[in-house]
Amino acid sequence: MSSGAVLTQSIETIAWTPEGVIMIDQTRLPRETVYVTCRNYREVAEAIRSMVIRGAPAIGVAAAMGVALGVLHSSDPESEMPVICEALAKTRPTAVNLFWAIDRMKRVYASARHLPLAEIRKRLVVEAQAVREEDIAINRAIGKHGAALVPDGKTVLTHCNAGALATAGFGTALGVIRAAVEMGKRVDVFADETRPFLQGARLTAWELQRDGIETTLITDNMAGHFLKSGRIGCVIVGADRIAANGDVANKIGTYGVAVLAKENGVPFYVAAPVSTLDLTLASGDAIPIEERAGREVTHVQGVHLAPEGIGVANPAFDVTPNRYVSAIITERGVARAPDEKSLREMADNKTR
């Protein structure tokens, strides 16, 4: 991966170019705005693993582009396609959008495999770009459906970063906030810093500050205090995988925020595309939870915080049972008190 390319004046999360996949390096924000170019599928896989790019929808886009890049450089895709897909699939286990995007690219490949190599390549590149473009449109639709739920004149609490940086653009949870602001609602945001990776402090705060949306950074353990205080009108978060019964896997800490929201009578909304639904899993208990390196907890930007040799746990996600979820906001509408019936309807219907 090479650093330093400047894409455009406006910030984009990920873009396809013939030279490779360009991504803003999310490990270096907000201190440095640096773009990296992944010139082959292995570099894309490494960018996903190391969280240069993160966020379930953005990971899906990156994986689709990784497959396209792999086949673009392959003279024997029939034997290499499974290797490329496997390398990208094993980067991170929880966000289902990764597997959804790879499956989508596999289907395009399967339908094109009898065609000349140049045509196969072209179709995969077109598909990967379509995944990106569709994601922005999906987020706009999520925003439109969700904006109606945001109370006027109150604070929205969000956890982690489900913004433009977590998607191809606009964002899911932050897309709902942006859409509410666009329709004239007075909204300010409390952003959990989201340890250990600090997506809230580094990415959400940065995005919202650029948009001029008033934002207050808090540590994760302050969320309960402010939910109890009455100033939070609703919580909106993204999702990494949603089981058929409406249980939601999302960034570690989401479960705690959801319980505290319910305890204080504050609505808890999940904003995610339909591609985040995993109807093959009956409940959230079956969602694999990624355990990441302890060093993410013991060190912050290279500074060692804890005593040497201390034990560490670092589950990157948790599961929020459906009873804490007031509604799931998708591009096809809002599933209130989500359950298997409402989510299957959401997945089956193109509009709602």
**Residues lying near a copy of itself in the complex (CB under 8 A):** 30-31, 159, 190, 192-196, 198, 201-202, 205-206, 209, 214-226, 228, 252-253, 255-256, 259-260, 263, 297-298, 300-307, 309-315, 318
Q: What span, in angstroms and rounded, lies between the C-alpha atoms of 156 and 218?
A: 13
Closest CA to 330 of 305, 304, 348: 348
Strand, helix or coil for residue 198: coil
Residue 240: active-site member: yes
Minimal distance, residue 257 CB to a copy of itself, in Å: 8
Shortest gap between Cβ of 308 and a copy of itself (angstroms)? 8
Burial zone of 7 (CB within 10 Å; 0-12 exposed, 13-18 middle, 19+ buried):
middle
Catalytic-labelled residue, pool 220, 240, 247, 278: 240
Compute the distance between CA of residue 127 and CA of residue 61 in angstroms, rounded to an integer: 10
3-class secondary structure, 131: helix
Nearest distance from C-beta of residue 116 to a copy of itself, angstroms: 49
Tell the smallest beta-carbon distance from residue 292 to a copy of itself (Å): 11
Q: Which is nearer to a copy of itself, 169 or 200 (CB)?
A: 200
Decide if 44 contacts 21 (C-beta within 8 A). Answer: yes
In this structure, are residues 48 and 58 in contact, taking their beta carbons and an 8 Å threshold? no
> Of the two residues 51 and 69, which places its CB atom closer to a copy of itself in the complex?
51
Residue 189 CA, distance from chain mean position: 19
> Of the two residues 119 and 263, which places its CB atom closer to a copy of itself in the complex?
263
Q: What are the beta bridge partners of residue 2? A: 37
| Backbone angles phi and psi of 318, in degrees to 5 | -135, 175
Shortest reach from residue 285's CB to a copy of itself, in Å: 11
Residue closer to a copy of itself (CB basis): 100 or 190? 190
Q: What's CA 215's distance to the chain center, in Å?
A: 20
| Identity of residue 118 | A
Q: Which is nearer to a copy of itself, 50 or 209 (CB)?
A: 209
Which residues are annotated as catalytic?
240
